[in-house]
Chains A and B, each alone.
Chain A
């Protein structure tokens, strides 16, 4: 049997099963013998199943596949092959929660019913007419499954089809999300930290800051030398449910200011630049009020942001200049379709117009515009030393994207693994991004609020990562896994719309439960999904910590990032830009006039910045690249790319066998291991010199290196592995000529040396 899920399978590694109480193990065993079950997770219940289902291989036409049992549980749709596959095929990178033939319910993107020669999108559990002979499932992680139901009993077929459709497509209440029954039946020893990483990372003063305590905020404020006010009065949401439990505002903001518009219009601190200016975000005030209250309130807030006239402020309404969440959703839903490949023919047909299809869906342009905007914010902070206040209607979508991108570019701490996780906690989780609605975890039919905003952010991060690999401690695989985890309904991280929402749900829930407050894992508890060995793939072997300078050489009282970030402003001689960020406080008297602000508040049709921060980028680019300093993305056409690993990993035709960047990275990894082993030996040496202990003889080094290279890698590593290494047939494109429109006369003027041929 395939090993699925956590498995009390053959591997003796510690896994989830150890958390399961004995009664649950018994109840699992009680299930009838003839029905095949995956190794169920704690709290997982099988709803329905059907045997002799044929799982088809990718090629639609071949109609080949494997027979097995298809089940639907409260966690997943699962297929268990009848074939004893014996050995594990992919022991290196196995998800403990679900296997290669499992689809977590929230990971289902679309279900199609296959009828003889056509397919129909299934939109709800009311199926008119006939039941389809085939279920085709498109997953949010881009996998495609095709199950033929023609060989199983008719009633089984009906039941499994209806079951899958119901549990995947019909709206459900939050409490019915698997996380709740999972967590109720599992004891997590709290935040495990990253046991795996603590061993690996050299000086682990870091942990993931959850920003659910005043300490975390205070620490981050202190780290960036910000001078703002930490607000703790909302710990029980006494001020406003719209505000985070803890947050930071400009010094002069009063408590009354915070509640006046239920937190709207309140500038929330994101990050402080070493020059003293800072980045703030806010949600827009309700428009068109009769009185001048909102305007004067905004005026006051701007003054507060400006440190009482010490600095100038630039504001930017992201709703005006960036695509809306609906635009993002629309574009992504076109974009992702390119990766659902149903057959080889499909693949090669779509290969013809690949570039223009990508172009037309606009997804890369959206990525580009976000990076561009973040770069503009960075320019304001870094070059002009202006405070920046970004705003949008809700204040928790594009504000999160732009503020976290700007911080990634400016502050190398956020490019470490723990730093990145802390950033997501700060800007997205504590920042109140509506994960529940945006990811549509409840399968609501009304999709107005659905939008892959967080994924868009990860896409932008990936662009930075592929341009400046050595600057990031985490790897591409980490980002891909993180993007997958959004749709694994186990982690509290992606289940709520805000901290208040989370608190109220969990509080209500704990009153029913005997075990006290539910303790759902966060996505950062990576050991819930992966063992330590797999987690090693989250670390980017190209990353090197910033060389530490001698303590004595350090200037006292300068925060660490300060040195790294400062660019001598004299190097930027570019003239002030016109048009873009509205210079609200260049001359403060003028700026704070009510009229001016009201215009800014009420007329969104400000001149669009067509000019880019070109000069800023070019000036930066002329300097030697410091991976621990400021990073600016290159946004030229060829520089913004497709996140190949995420999008192409399941497509057979594009797998490069024995190739891909991984072949190089794994060599770096192996060498890194070797160097670290040598370093340990040296350390042992030096410690044994001081003490009189018997010095262990250094072990031979080459044996130490990982066996990773011995397996044939492919460009889809680590998501698919190769089963039959050498018996591989190349993919040969079909129907090539169709797209090459006859390039007029040239193509016809065969051939190369016409004149001479005629002569001959």
Chain B
């Protein structure tokens, strides 16, 4: 199978492939083209199918990490055509069905192999990221250096210091090692506050506004409990956060709906009450992980395999998916608005790793144009999501067979959707394009890179992720031109407020409905294509003009070389001669 290996898989993964399931005739029941005969290969990274019918060439190339659930369909005595086989549920909005011959337990091998390698963690095996030996020019693990990022923000300064109290994860095992805290708070203060915050996730600085010094701080809920406990240290600590830029009132955004915050008291949590002087608490009404999971499930029901035909909009509304997007975005808008007008804010939800991460990172995306660059966005993800302990492993369930785990939830997908909504509304404000977002979501599941593995930094350290796996950013930054938005117009200093109204929010069709061939998948948007054609044409004309100049008067200088823009990859050279641009105006 060596030749097969190279021809099919030569594209990206350079590792030993186990050809576990060679050449067995199998039928892929494509929801769009019907039953297709073909061949399946399963490696320790992916499931590959190619239909043998040349007329309708259908190919599947599914990383095993995407698989959520594998089930047997039908039994040896099932009747009906193609009723015996496998049903595979994927995490990326699709299902795959394969039918096999009914005789001779033909599916036993494939089922067992899939089950084993799709869920390596449940079988005591290594995730594929540890087996991949990919090499890239750039080491993506270097993209985020906490101290560098703090320095970029102008920290430390006379109000905020960097603390290494958590260097061995003693203060909080789900926080990063390097924290920015109020200058006046002592290490002892931090320890005391940690006792009153759920899981020790104390308020720390995420971002500071360069001009007005207002900050976004994040944390988890205070442990108020049924009895309404108070903690002076916590109260004083929050007041230090407020004091740092002289804000008269600290705004605390609790991402949860009010009732949920109240309900949390029963389990020892709660929210900041009136005892917090100079603070105002605002609930942002964003629902919890379970609601989001069910919402996306409903969305899948109406788009896969077929897009709901009648009453599409009502069906879409009934999933509430876009409404949740609206809530998250509008929460982030409020945070960004407060901060840009000089108020420091504290954001938390229950544990401060789901909704909090969504809100702080989106607000930072609105406030700081650095995060809208290709590398800046990577930093944002590394910082607000990965280092602050969004529980990727629990939310995604990497390599875990327990598909019904209540901890799973598409919080990160929802965040990327929000980012996509922003790029849609501000098509020139982001250096990266949709392809980056799609790539991120693909590798959120694929387990090919170490980037999204594990729940927090301490776990990552323990499993030596940085040493033993490759970062997704290695892939991205080694071929970054395909992730660039040609329309990007850098603009610093401007706060980007998206419109969080249903009038503008739209379903991200090229993600959620991308498996449907009826939805035309354009490799490149027509606008982008046209722009690149024109850029190429401009360069061509400039070159021609230069040549003419040179040939006419050899002494003349190169007048235009400086205006020539060659940063973009030239699309295929226009075939027409330069004399007439086929472009009317």
A22 close to B (CB within 8 Å) = no
In the complex, which residue of chain A has the Cβ closest to the Cβ of B574? A547
> In the complex the two chains form, is B267's CB within 8 Å of A746's CB?
no
Q: Across the interface, which residues of A come within 8 angstroms of B326, CB to CB? A: 351, 733, 736
Q: Across the interface, which residues of B come within 8 angstroms of A683, CB to CB? A: 579
B471 close to A (CB within 8 Å) = no
Known A-B contacts A354-B502, A675-B538, A733-B326; A750 and B531 likewise in contact (beta carbons under 8 Å): no
Q: Which of B287, B323, B579 contacts A739 (CB 8 A)?
A: B323
A698 close to B (CB within 8 Å) = yes
* Chain B, 305-351, CB within 8 A of any chain A CB: 307-309, 311-317, 320, 322-323, 326-327, 330, 333-334, 336-337, 349-351
How far is it, in angstroms, between the C-alpha of A733 and the C-alpha of B549 when the chains are bound?
A: 59
> In the complex the two chains form, is B534's CB within 8 Å of A732's CB?
no
How far is it, in angstroms, between the C-alpha of A682 and the C-alpha of B427 when the chains are bound?
A: 33
A751 close to B (CB within 8 Å) = yes
A679 close to B (CB within 8 Å) = yes
> In the complex the two chains form, is A354's CB within 8 Å of B530's CB?
no
> In the complex the two chains form, is B256's CB within 8 Å of A671's CB?
no
Rounded to whole Å, the gap between the CB of B510 and the closest CB of chain A is 10
A737 close to B (CB within 8 Å) = yes
How far is it, in angstroms, between the C-alpha of A653 and the C-alpha of B503 when the chains are bound?
A: 10
Q: Which of B198, B257, B502 contacts A355 (CB 8 A)?
A: B502
B8 close to A (CB within 8 Å) = no
Q: Across the interface, which residues of A come within 8 angstroms of B581, CB to CB? A: 675-676, 679
* Chain A, 644-699, CB within 8 A of any chain B CB: 644, 648, 651, 653-661, 663-665, 667-668, 671-676, 678-679, 681-683, 685-686, 695, 698
How far is it, in angstroms, between the C-alpha of A656 and the C-alpha of B349 when the chains are bound?
A: 29
Q: Across the interface, which residues of A come within 8 angstroms of B499, CB to CB? A: 653-656, 715, 731
How far is it, in angstroms, between the C-alpha of A747 and the C-alpha of B580 when the chains are bound?
A: 63
From B92-100, B182-190, B289-297, give the one contacting chain A. Answer: B289-297
> In the complex the two chains form, is A729's CB within 8 Å of B337's CB?
yes
How far is it, in angstroms, between the C-alpha of A638 and the C-alpha of B303 when the chains are bound?
A: 10
Rounded to whole Å, the gap between the CB of B112 and the closest CB of chain A is 31
Q: Across the interface, which residues of A come within 8 angstroms of B563, CB to CB? A: 700-702
Q: Name, among A473, A702, A743, the residue most crowded by chain B CB atoms within 10 Å (CB to CB).
A: A743
Known A-B contacts A356-B313, A698-B559; A732 and B350 likewise in contact (beta carbons under 8 Å): no
A637 close to B (CB within 8 Å) = yes
> In the complex the two chains form, is A545's CB within 8 Å of B582's CB?
yes
Rounded to whole Å, the gap between the CB of A436 and the closest CB of chain B is 34
> In the complex the two chains form, is A364's CB within 8 Å of B576's CB?
no
How many A residues face the partner with a CB closer than 8 A?
100
> In the complex the two chains form, is B313's CB within 8 Å of A751's CB?
no
How far is it, in angstroms, between the C-alpha of A678 and the C-alpha of B579 when the chains are bound?
A: 11
Q: Across the interface, which residues of B come within 8 angstroms of A752, CB to CB? A: 288-289, 349-351, 353-354, 407, 409
How far is it, in angstroms, between the C-alpha of A75 and the C-alpha of B382 when the chains are bound?
A: 62
Interface SS majority for chain B: loop
> In the complex the two chains form, is A541's CB within 8 Å of B530's CB?
yes
* Chain B, 485-513, CB within 8 A of any chain A CB: 487, 489, 491, 494, 496-504, 506-507, 509, 513
A5 close to B (CB within 8 Å) = no
> In the complex the two chains form, is B526's CB within 8 Å of A747's CB?
no
* Chain B, 525-571, CB within 8 A of any chain A CB: 526-527, 529-531, 533-535, 537-538, 541-542, 544-545, 548-549, 552, 559-560, 563
Q: Across the interface, which residues of A come within 8 angstroms of B79, CB to CB? A: none
Q: Across the interface, which residues of A come within 8 angstroms of B313, CB to CB? A: 355-356, 358-359, 364, 637
Rounded to whole Å, the gap between the CB of B517 and the closest CB of chain A is 8
B584 close to A (CB within 8 Å) = yes
A108 close to B (CB within 8 Å) = no
How far is it, in angstroms, between the C-alpha of A678 and the C-alpha of B563 when the chains are bound?
A: 12
Rounded to whole Å, the gap between the CB of B390 and the closest CB of chain A is 11
A87 close to B (CB within 8 Å) = no
In the complex, which residue of chain B has the Cβ closest to the Cβ of A354? B502
Q: Which of A201, A656, A673 contacts B584 (CB 8 A)?
A: A201
Q: Which of B316, B497, B575 contacts A730 (CB 8 A)?
A: B497
Q: Across the interface, which residues of B come within 8 angstroms of A663, CB to CB? A: 426-428, 487, 489
Q: Across the interface, which residues of A come within 8 angstroms of B560, CB to CB? A: 698, 701
In the complex, which residue of chain B has the Cβ closest to the Cβ of A749? B290
In the complex, which residue of chain B has the Cβ closest to the Cβ of A640? B312
Q: Which of A348, A667, A748 contacts B263 (CB 8 A)?
A: A748
> In the complex the two chains form, is A754's CB within 8 Å of B497's CB?
no
How far is it, in angstroms, between the C-alpha of A200 and the C-alpha of B583 when the chains are bound?
A: 10
How far is it, in angstroms, between the C-alpha of A354 and the C-alpha of B137 when the chains are bound?
A: 49
B260 close to A (CB within 8 Å) = yes
Known A-B contacts A730-B337, A736-B327, A753-B407; A542 and B526 likewise in contact (beta carbons under 8 Å): yes
Q: Across the interface, which residues of B come within 8 angstroms of A187, CB to CB? A: none
Q: Across the interface, which residues of B come within 8 angstroms of A541, CB to CB? A: 530, 585
In the complex, which residue of chain A has the Cβ closest to the Cβ of B312? A637
B285 close to A (CB within 8 Å) = yes
> In the complex the two chains form, is B260's CB within 8 Å of A747's CB?
yes
> In the complex the two chains form, is B585's CB within 8 Å of A757's CB?
no
Q: Name, among A354, A625, A702, the residue most crowded by chain B CB atoms within 10 Å (CB to CB).
A: A354
Residues of A within 8 A of B (CB): 200-203, 347-348, 351-356, 358-360, 364, 468-470, 473, 539, 541-548, 617-618, 621-622, 625, 634, 636-639, 642, 644, 648, 651, 653-661, 663-665, 667-668, 671-676, 678-679, 681-683, 685-686, 695, 698, 700-702, 715, 726, 728-733, 736-737, 739-740, 743, 746-754, 757-758, 760
**14 A-B contacts (beta carbon < 8 Å):** A542-B527, A546-B582, A637-B307, A658-B429, A663-B426, A671-B531, A676-B581, A698-B545, A748-B260, A750-B256, A750-B288, A751-B263, A751-B288, A758-B267
A-B contact sample (11 more), CB < 8 A, given A618-B517, A753-B407: A200-B584, A352-B323, A359-B313, A539-B584, A638-B509, A648-B503, A654-B504, A656-B498, A664-B487, A671-B534, A671-B538
